[in-house]
Each structure stands twice: as structure tokens, then as C-alpha cells.
Homo-oligomer: A and B are copies of this chain.
Amino acid sequence: MAIEWSGLSPELLVRLDREAGQPLRAQLEGSLREAIRDGRLRGGERLPSSRALARELGVSRGMVQECYGQLLAEGYLTSRSGSATRVADITERAASGTPVTPATATARLPADRGLIADFRVGVPDLSSFPRADWAWAVRQACGEIASADLGYGDPRGSAVLREVLAGYLRRVRAADAGSERMIISTGFAQGINLVLRALIRERGVSCVAFEDPGYGSAESDETVRATLAMGLRAVHVPVDEEGLVVSALAASGAQAVVVTPAHQSPTGVVLSAARRHALLAWARRQGGYVIEDDYDSEFRYDKEPVGALQGLAPDHVFLVGTASKALAPAVRLGWVQAPAALAGAVAGEKEMSDRGSCALDQLALATLLTSGRYDRHLRRMRAVYAGRRAALVEAFATHSPQLRLTGLAAGFHAVAPLPASADETAVIAAARERRVGLYGIGDYRAIADPAAPPALVIGFGNVSERAIGPAIAAIADLLRA
């Protein structure tokens, strides 16, 4: 007895190929996403129960539930308690307005090698950079590149890398990615600059919203500084336990907003499904733009990464990514997946800015991706970071059980709220005297606020696992005050 589903049999919507290399779970999820995106499943339509679909497809019910859960988190589905799961309304794809994406917490001070542990945020494990792989990939690129490609080329970047990356982002980030809308940058900082300049020029954007806490102030962050230097007004929108407070965004007058939906920087909150919908509704209503800072989505521990917001509304969202976290900042490669109507403008900004990124490095990154070495490195690093994360959790449980670490679902930083009476700056200074590098959430606020709850943002990307316990033990008393 076949189930009915928007007039189509499930087989038409969901193609499961048991001979294909791809796991059934990924196939099911991808097929549903595709069907929702291209309108075969329309907003409001009711999905079959997980039990019915599982029976129909010959898979386990748990697998279907996992898929539904993932698509709920990403905003493709909606669900109210007690009622059936339905397709979310994502079909609108108009364009005109302004977006901005929120900033990534990154190293703000030179590393201090005299520290026993430096919990600096935003730095991956530099000692794990795959040196041999990179040298190999550059050698391959030097051998394979056509002479003509050593000249000034397409300012968007290498056609090979754009194609490979688009496929990667579709697969890993559930992005609506296409090589013709992709611009290769030298990292997140350049990527957002190109996007903002294109929005100023093409859409008359004059005001951009940032998450708060988020990138911080012009003093602490070069992206905020660059934004102001372009003549843009920056407004700051609060973040709560569901992520960006979209109602405050709507009231801010901003035409674009910079967000970190997968793992808010620095709080670690995942933008809730309701907020994802509210944010995209804002963008459609206002003709606004969302700049999605997808800075550390490669590393998620409890379940698979939340898909990119961009996949839900590719005409309103710029997906801005970087290889800085997966490889190292030294590589200086990133990408912008732009709305079709604005990709040319972003490419024009790239051309004016530097005429395109290094062709050899681009080909090297493409080679890492296609050879499987990139994924192998990420798998290795997930294990490394998971070990450090566990060590951090254990160290806090042992030495500071009163503090609840949050924001640990992804990436390589956590937030440790301090007692309300604690002085963030004093704790950091005292820890430094004990040769432990700590960083306060104050650096991530747009405006210094002595009344704001004190907290630490603890990066564990570039700290060795065995240093974590002793370092937390050494400062545990400071965290009580």
C-alpha cells in the first residue's frame, strides 16, 4: 500500500540507490531537500509519518526521524508539538535589499609562547597543518596547470576550484551552490569586504547589522573597522539562546545582517529553526540580505553539521566561507557563494581589489578536495578537537564544577559564564600571571558594558590536549570569586 505524498509517490521524491557509494541517510536527506527547494514539495504540505515512510522505503524508522530532525533544524521542515511535520515555506526567491554577515572570533593579540596554555579563540591547531599534503598539492598544481592559467585569469578564481568547491558545499553544507555564482577570496575578511562593497554599489546599502556579542567593536575587530571605513553604519543586534533576535533586527533599520547561524560566534548557540524562518522572512519582506559567516561548520560533535542557511534562500543569502579553520589561516583562501543577481558585482569587486587569488594555491586546494586528502584531514582534526573538547569538559567538571560550559556543539571554542560578581578583566590578568591565556566575552561586545554578565570564551583549537587539565587546575580558584 503506497503512501500518498503531494500526489507523487515517495519514490519520485526520494531516490534511494543502494548501489551508490553515498549512505542511504544522506541520500534521503538530500532528496527531501531537493524536492522542497525545487517546489515538488510545497510549503505547508504534510509529510508522511516517519513510520510510514520508513516502511515504504525499506529503511529504519530511526533513520527517517534523524533526517526529519536535521531538516527541521535547517529550516526546511516545521513541526508543532502534537501535529504532523510539514514542509516549511521557503519558495519565495525575490531579490533587492541588503545583507551583512556576523564576524568570526579570531586571534586579536600575538600568540604568547611563554604560556602553558593559550585559550585564544579562532585559531585551529596550527601544529596539525598538513604540511606534506599542501606541498604535494602545490607540486601537483605546478605540474598540471596550463601555462595560460598562470596569467591574469577570471577574477572569480579558478574554474576548477569553483566547480569542486560548489560540489563540496552542496554535499557538506547543503548549500545551493553553483560555480558561476562562486568567487574565490583570500579568506573571510576579504570575502565580507567584497560582499559589502557590492551591496553598497548595487543595492545602496548604508546600514549593516552585526550580532552582539559577535565581532565586537572597531577597536577589537578588523571587519567592523573595514565596515565603518566603507562609510557603512553598523548596528548591533542582540543574541539570545535561539541566536540572533530577529525582531530587534527588523527594528534596527539595517538592510543587511551578518550572522553565524551554524555556531554563533562567540556564544556557540545554533540559530533555531523559528529564527531561521523569521530571518529569511525579514530578508524577503525588506529586500534585505544575509551574510552567512560559515566559519567553523566543519567541526560538529553531537550530530552532523546544521546545513547552511544559504540553501534555504540563495537569492538573499551570501555564504562566506574560509579554509582558515580547516587548514590554517596561512593558506589565505576562502569563498563567497553569492546570489545570482549579485555574483557579477562581487566578481567586479574582486577584480578591483586584487585581480583574483593565487591560481596555484587555488588549484592546490582543489587537488586536496578531489584527492580525498582534505576530508581525511578534517576527520583527523575532528578527532583531535573532540579529544580537546572532552579534556576541557572534564577539567571543568573536576576543577570548576560550578561553571556550566556552553556552546560546545561545534567548532573549537566554548563559553564559560563567570559568577556575576567576577571581574572578567581581573580574572584574565590573574590567569596570565599564572601563564594561562584567557579571553573575555567583553572583546566580542560592540560596546563595553560593565553590567553585562562576565564570561570567558575558551578556544581549544590550538591548545594541546594534555595542557588543558593542568591549565584549568591552575586557574580554578580564579573562576570561583
A contacts, CB < 8 Å to B: 106-107, 111, 113, 123, 126-127, 129, 131-132, 134-135, 138-139, 142-143, 145, 147-153, 185-187, 189-190, 193, 197, 201, 222-223, 225-226, 229, 328-332, 351-361, 462
Contacts and interface: CB of A to CB of B under 8 A. Distances in A.
Given A150-B329, A189-B353, A189-B355, 9 more contacts: A126-B150, A131-B142, A135-B138, A145-B330, A186-B186, A201-B229, A222-B351, A330-B359, A332-B357
Nearest to A349: B229
B225 A330 contact: no
Nearest to A332: B358
Contact of A151 (B123, B139, B193): B123
Contacts of A352: 189, 193, 222-223, 225-226, 229
A111 B148 contact: yes
What does DSSP make chain A's interface, helix, strand, loop or mixed?
Answer: helix
Given A134-B360, A358-B331, A360-B330, A190 B353 contact: yes
Count of identical protomers in the assembly: 2
A329 B229 contact: no
A424 to B, nearest CB: 23
Contact of A186 (B113, B127, B151, B354): B354
A352 B229 CA distance: 9
Contacts of A328: 150-151
Contact of A355 (B111, B127, B329, B357): B329
Contacts of A462: 151
A436 B44 CA distance: 61
A400 B434 CA distance: 80
The 9 closest A-B pairs by CB, nearest first: A330-B359, A226-B352, A332-B358, A150-B328, A190-B354, A135-B142, A131-B142, A135-B139, A150-B330
B149 A330 contact: yes
A145 B129 CA distance: 11
B332 A107 contact: no
Nearest to A129: B150
A462 B149 CA distance: 13
Contacts of A185: 354
A134 B142 contact: yes
B106 A131 contact: no
A309 B351 CA distance: 28
Contacts of A201: 229
A440 to B, nearest CB: 19
A113 B353 CA distance: 27
A143 B151 CA distance: 28
Contacts of A329: 150-152, 355, 359
Kindly name the residue among A186, A225, A359 whose own CB sees the greatest number of chain B CB atoms within 10 A.
A186
Nearest to A134: B142
Given A111-B148, A152-B329, A354 B189 contact: yes
A425 to B, nearest CB: 23
Contacts of A354: 185-187, 189-190, 193, 332
Given A135-B139, A135-B142, A329-B151, A186 B126 contact: no
A193 B127 CA distance: 34
A359 B186 CA distance: 12
A135 to B, nearest CB: 4
Contacts of A150: 126, 129, 328-330
